[in-house]
Homo-oligomer: A and B are copies of this chain.
């Protein structure tokens, strides 16, 4: 289970054209898509309620293959969570880095967040961190570390946003970027929770709008 070259699926097309000429029987699954399916399940049902049979059915891999590819259930869960965070980060990083007015950046961030939280065939899926990972965090130090990392990463990204906006004069002198960032994160969290309770998108958008009205004019 060392899995060397896995990160660059785009660069892979350059370095390893298509067939790396592996030695034995070829895999009948693509690890990336299988992990995506596993992620969907874990995200919907949580760790305990997701059985290996469910995962096996969803990924199309039988249990031994699953085990061989990703390790045991906990490892698969962690890899799923890692994948979720990578995806979420990838979807937001450009916006966080973009050079746009504060309000516009925030609006785009929340639009992406809503897309992520509300998607899903069998109901809105919410946020992996908030809905299932935080629950596991009490008893599993490894997962806890990941959760804390995720939370602080979001805080920091928002913090940079607000600090930047303050430097540009978009915020009053007295505004505290750190506090505003925490409130922005909190809005992400409250939206994730409400989405999971099937609160309609319209309402969530209204909550976001109200929050932005406060945060973009604060103090």
Contact = CB atoms under 8 A, between A and B. Distances in A.
Interface of A: 44-49, 122-126, 129-132, 134-135, 137-139, 144, 147-148, 151, 176, 178-180, 182-183, 185-187, 189-190, 193-194, 196-199, 207, 210-211, 213-215, 217-219
Contact of A48 (B49, B148, B189, B217): B49
Given A124-B138, A134-B196, 20 more contacts: A44-B138, A46-B46, A48-B49, A126-B135, A137-B197, A138-B198, A144-B197, A151-B194, A151-B199, A176-B214, A179-B207, A179-B211, A179-B214, A183-B183, A183-B214, A185-B190, A190-B190, A214-B218, A214-B219, A217-B219
Contacts of A125: 138
A182 B197 contact: no
Given A46-B46, A47-B49, A131-B134, A190 B198 contact: no
Counted per complex, copies of this chain come to 2
A44 B137 CA distance: 10
Nearest to A143: B197
Given A138-B122, A144-B198, A210 B182 contact: yes
A206 to B, nearest CB: 9
A132 B49 CA distance: 12
7 contacts: A134-B193, A134-B197, A137-B197, A144-B198, A176-B210, A217-B218, A218-B219
A178 B131 contact: no
Contacts of A197: 134, 137, 144, 147-148, 151
